[in-house]
């Protein structure tokens, strides 16, 4: 006999979120099982995470966040697979409640440890502790990721309790419900990132469009320079790790326009890519859409947080190392916006490339 839950404001304040597993209409006798809907919801999330993984996540597992991204994709696959089995076998509510309740508890715990360890991993790059072999870094990241998931599973079995209950509504509809967790950390992080980016834009609104166009021109200039250099007959390609001694990387003597400060230039690179995601997510939160943790903790959130932490690390380390900080490839072009702030590359200046086909090797080919 399932415990009946009365419809009252007191109960709505004590339970964070309820997953409706089955419903009965007293008048018509209609019975609805929601296992199929939960399966397709998890399947859509898995497909979205796979797409984001291949589009945004760098496949360099020497970084902790890269291993975390892979682990979330694998966890989504396992959760979707087991939910498909529950739906296919036509299992009753206890199986669905156990699966969704534990999954929400596990996913709700992992955001903060992943953020802390990922940020610590970025901070230790370019230090003696970070200068280890690729195999050591891979093993370290894999072990830490497994430990995070194990701690989350231990929490879900030790501190989170979810049982089936029957909910009777005033309209005569009965529902079998199960408590699930929501991720407060994800909500706070999304609202915080949106507030920081929005407030930082206000003092610089007049120059944003011009800076974005100039950043695009700088990207095209560097891309053309790399292409021209790679086409030379001798083996010499342009690399962003080249020392900051070339002419293009010295500050321009002539200012074309007011340069943004470095912190805002990097923030601009972040919000150009991630502002649409933040706006949509914050809009859903303000509209009161309740999302359990096993849905809200996804790769879009992880990669957005990853970009912000990578940009923060780049900003701190670039004061010493310039734009050549050893961070993974990211959807935000930090080096482009560093040059935008420093004015070290002028897009309309011809690119000088050494032409070895001439007898005089000191001749310059201007493009």
Residues spanned by the domain of 108: 4-181
Q: Quote the pLDDT of residue 252.
A: 42
User: CB under 8 Å to 236, separation ≥6 — which residues?
Assistant: 229
Name the domain boundary from 125, 153, 181.
181
Contacts of 63 (CB under 8 A, 6+ apart): 118, 121, 122, 137, 141, 328
Q: Based on the domain organization, do 124 and 226 belong to the same domain?
A: no
From CA 302, how far away is CA 195, in angstroms rounded?
18
Q: Could you tell me if 121 and 24 lie in one domain? A: yes
- Indicate if 199 and 112 belong to the same structural domain: no
Q: How many CA atoms lie within 13 A of 227 on its CB side?
A: 7
Contact 304, 281 (CB under 8 A): no
Last residue of a domain, one of 181, 203, 230: 181
- Answer yes or no: do 279 and 135 share one domain: no
Do residue 103 and residue 139 come from a single domain?
A: yes
Which residue among 159, 181, 203 closes a domain?
A: 181
- Asked whether the beta carbons of 318 and 122 are under 8 A apart, the reply is no
Q: How many residues does the chain have?
A: 367
CA distance 44 to 36: 12
What's the rounded Cα separation, in Å, for the pair 8 and 95? 27
Residues 96 and 240 in one domain: no
* pLDDT score for 128: 61
**What is this structure's pTM?**
0.80
What contacts 205, CB < 8 A, 6 or more positions away?
Answer: none
CA gap 208, 275 in Å, rounded: 14
pLDDT by position in tens, the chain (length 367):
344 444 433 333 334 688 888 888 766 667 788 889 999 999 999 999 999 998 887 667 888 999 999 999 999 999 999 999 998 887 777 888 889 999 999 999 999 999 999 999 988 887 766 567 788 889 999 999 999 999 999 998 888 877 788 877 776 778 888 889 888 999 999 999 999 999 988 888 888 888 988 888 888 887 787 777 655 554 333 444 434 434 444 444 444 458 889 899 999 999 988 999 999 999 998 888 888 999 999 999 999 999 999 999 989 888 787 777 777 766 788 888 888 888 776 655 544 443 434 434 343 333 3
Residues 218 and 257 in one domain: yes
- Say if residue 339 is in the same domain as residue 234: yes
171 with 201, same domain: the answer is: no
pLDDT tens-digit readout, 131-141: 677 888 899 99
What domain count does the chain have? Answer: 2
Q: Please tell me whether residues 155 and 94 are part of one structural domain.
A: yes
Parallel, antiparallel or unpaired: strands 352-354 and 173-179:
unpaired
* Model pLDDT, residue 346: 62
Domain identity same for 176 and 212? no
Shared domain check, 95 and 54: yes
């Amino acid at each position: 006999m399932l415990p009946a839950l009365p419809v009252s404001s007191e109960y709505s304040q004590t339970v964070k979120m309820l997953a409706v597993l089955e419903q009965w209409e007293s008048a018509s006798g209609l019975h609805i099982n929601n296992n199929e809907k939960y399966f397709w919801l998890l399947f859509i999330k898995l497909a979205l995470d796979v797409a984001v993984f291949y589009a945004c996540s760098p496949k360099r597992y020497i970084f902790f966040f890269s291993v975390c991204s892979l682990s979330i994709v694998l966890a989504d696959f396992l959760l979707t697979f087991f939910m498909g089995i529950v739906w296919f076998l036509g299992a009753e509510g206890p199986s669905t409640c156990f699966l969704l309740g534990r999954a929400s508890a596990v996913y709700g715990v992992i955001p903060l440890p992943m953020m802390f360890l990922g940020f610590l991993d970025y901070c230790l790059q370019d230090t003696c502790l970070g200068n280890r072999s690729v195999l050591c870094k891979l093993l370290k990241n894999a072990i830490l990721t497994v430990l995070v998931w194990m701690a989350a599973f231990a929490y879900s079995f030790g501190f989170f309790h979810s049982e089936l209950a029957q909910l009777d509504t005033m309209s005569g509809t009965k529902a079998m419900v199960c408590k699930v967790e929501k991720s407060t950390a994800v909500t706070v992080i999304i609202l915080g990132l949106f507030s920081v980016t929005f407030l930082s834009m206000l003092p610089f609104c007049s120059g944003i469009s011009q800076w974005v166009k100039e950043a695009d021109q700088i990207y095209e200039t560097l891309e053309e320079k790399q292409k021209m250099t790679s086409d030379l007959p001798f083996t010499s390609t342009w690399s962003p790790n080249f020392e900051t001694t070339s002419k293009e990387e010295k500050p321009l003597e002539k200012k074309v326009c007011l340069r943004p400060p470095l912190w805002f230039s990097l923030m601009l690179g972040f919000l150009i890519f991630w502002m649409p995601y933040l706006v949509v997510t914050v809009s859903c939160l303000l509209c009161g859409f309740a999302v359990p943790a096993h849905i809200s903790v996804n790769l879009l959130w992880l990669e957005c947080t990853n970009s912000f932490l990578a940009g923060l690390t780049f900003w701190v380390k670039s004061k010493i190392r310039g734009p050549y900080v050893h961070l993974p490839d990211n959807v935000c072009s930090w080096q482009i916006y560093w040059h935008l702030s420093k004015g070290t590359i002028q897009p309309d200046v011809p690119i000088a490339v050494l032409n070895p086909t001439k007898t005089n090797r000191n001749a310059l080919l201007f493009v």
